[in-house]
Amino acid sequence: MSLDRRTFLQLAAAFQAASALGIGPAMAEKAEGLTFGPAEPFSWEGLKRHARELAGKPYESPPRPNPEIVQQIDYDAHGKLRYKLENALWGEGGSVYPISFQHVGRYFPKTVRMHLIEKGAAREILYNPNLFMGGPGHVAKKLGPEPSAFAGFWVHESRNRPDWKKAEPWATFLGASYFRAVGELGQVGLSSRGLAIGPGTANPEEFPDFVAFWFEPALTEADPVIVNALLDSPSVAGAYRFAMRRGKGVVMDIEASLNLRKPIERMGLAPLTSMFWFSETVKATAVDWRPEVHDSDGLAMWNGKGEHIWRPLNNPSRIMVSSFVDQTPRGFGLCQRDRDFNNYQDGVKYQLRPTAWVEPLSDWGEGAIQLTEIPTDDEIHDNIVAMWVPKDPTAAGKTYDYRYRLHWLADEPYPSPLARCMATRLGNGGQPGQPRPKGVRKFMVEFKGDVLAKLPFGVKPEPVLSASRGQFSYIYAEAVPNEVPGHWRAQFDFTVDGKDPVEMRLYLKHGDEVLSETWLYQYHPF
């Protein structure tokens, strides 16, 4: 199954009612193959003010293109609606990074207003069915110019590249407040969102929408593409400003101002969304021919006290929400650490999926990094959410301002200098040649790093273990027998009664010296 189709199905299952910025029809003038509305003043402060005013009004659903026609634009029909890149915004000049637009369809039914900013003034980019290729008989041709049928946009590689029209876009915004970017290994994978409302709660999750965008050009490849956005939903209205830079991967500086219409039970800031089906840790017998299937294999955290933590992901039997209480966190991210093709054997190249790292640029105060893990039986579903949840209860009328930097790379931008966890493996407990005791699980947790390679010959690191309940036995460490310097594993058996989850903690030390990051694991006895 292709990545594009998997993404469509993920979003189709998730997206709920949308909203859009109500801007009436405008007199138009033509330029560069696009049609624009009249100029209106625009500023970031003005957008924030507009969001505050919008939050003081009842939420209104957006105007929609003809639902009967849009429903007919299924996956196959949407795939044929390719934007004509000769009509790309900045395709011939004005910015080094062209932008193309995406069409509404069955799985992306909401409309989004697009605007170009020049010299402090904004003009709406007006929808025209002729901007898209689909054939003269395509059902989308039946839609009129109002309301707009734009659903999202793509940011393309530099026009200085002769192949930019053939290259994959490096940033995409499509569906609710979802967006993605290319990592330094050349692939997209997990997604981010403007805001998460209520994942993992007893109530249905609410999906706010980016309902309008305003684009500012990047004059050189070193300059950022600036994207301003208005977010709206029944619970919140907000203003966002993205400064996106294309380098070895993508780095986005994000500023947000959120205004609440009503209290939110669980408000997730800087949310990351990914897919984890199975890894080498736990895999049902013959569930799939591939060794591993995941876009991310763990949650990495760098807490306010300076501790680096690695939490391998799970595919639990029921929804699980884990909270890691912190104050002024230094960062967190969903990571793909396993880069060996042999561990995936898949043509979609899961080993190239990016790591997305959230770096706060302001003091986020007290709260928790929350990890939501949702059961899945296939790779078509995004079932992992990681986000920051403030400690204080939310209140209607309150404004939340926060800033962060989002890195789309191959690894964490600030990795621990200590040894890092590389794999978590489970098996039956006990010793070879002896009857295997029931209810005993053996763990093999692998660490690798220069600090372990520098240990004197004959010196072994000491595993330091704890658990919320249960007993450890047969605890020891050994070098992994692959002749790779600094590659060690901690082994132990674990015995516990009952089926309730167990929280486990492990790190390696020598004397008083800590040698590794901290491994946290939620073990589900089976």
d(CA 176, CA 109): 10
Domain boundary among 409, 431, 451: 409
Indicate whether 328 belongs to any domain: yes
Region of 90 (left: φ > 0; alpha: ψ -120 to 50; beta: rest) is left
Contact indicator for 244, 225 with CB cutoff of 8 Å: yes
Residue 18 has pLDDT above 50, yes or no: no
Mapped to the 3 state alphabet, what secondary structure does 295-313 carry? CCCEEEEECCCCCEEEEEC
Q: What is the pLDDT of residue 27?
A: 35
Q: In DSSP terms, which residues pair with 369 in a beta bridge?
A: 324, 388
Are 199 and 171 in the same domain?
Answer: yes
Are 347 and 449 in the same domain?
Answer: no
Q: Percentage of the chain surpassing pLDDT 70?
A: 94
pLDDT-based confidence at 137, cuts 50/70/90?
Answer: confident
d(CA 487, CA 510): 15
Indicate whether 53 belongs to any domain: yes
Q: Residue range 322-336: average pLDDT?
A: 98
Indicate whether 415 belongs to any domain: no
Domain boundary among 388, 409, 430: 409
Encode pLDDT of 145-159 as tens digits: 778 899 999 999 999
Encode pLDDT of 401-456 as tens digits: 999 999 999 999 999 999 999 999 999 998 888 888 888 999 999 999 999 999 99
| Nearest residue to 126 via CA among 42, 23, 228, 218 | 23
Q: In DSSP terms, which residues pair with 29 in a beta bridge?
A: 36
3-class state of residue 56 by DSSP: coil
Q: How many domains does the chain have?
A: 2
Domain boundary among 353, 381, 409: 409
Q: Which two tokens stand for residue 305?
A: 């006290």
Residue 169 has pLDDT above 60, yes or no: yes
Indicate whether 425 belongs to any domain: yes
Are 448 and 400 in the same domain?
Answer: no
**pTM: predicted TM-score of the whole model, two decimal places:** 0.92
Encode pLDDT of 278-299 as tens digits: 999 998 888 999 999 999 999 9
Q: Which two tokens stand for residue 426?
A: 């489970």
Encode pLDDT of 494-515 as tens digits: 999 999 999 999 999 999 999 9
Which CATH number belongs to the domain containing residue 448 in this structure?
2.60.40.10
Are 487 and 430 in the same domain?
Answer: yes
Q: What is the pLDDT of residue 156?
A: 98
Q: What is the pLDDT of residue 14?
A: 35
Our measurement of the distance from residue 455's CA atom to the centroid of its chain's CA atoms, rounded to an integer in Å, reads 38
Q: Residue range 368-373: average pLDDT?
A: 98
Residue with more model confidence, 292 or 21: 292
> The domain containing residue 242 runs over which residues?
3-409
pLDDT-based confidence at 32, cuts 50/70/90?
Answer: very low
Q: Residue range 302-314: average pLDDT?
A: 97
Residue 2 has pLDDT above 70, yes or no: no
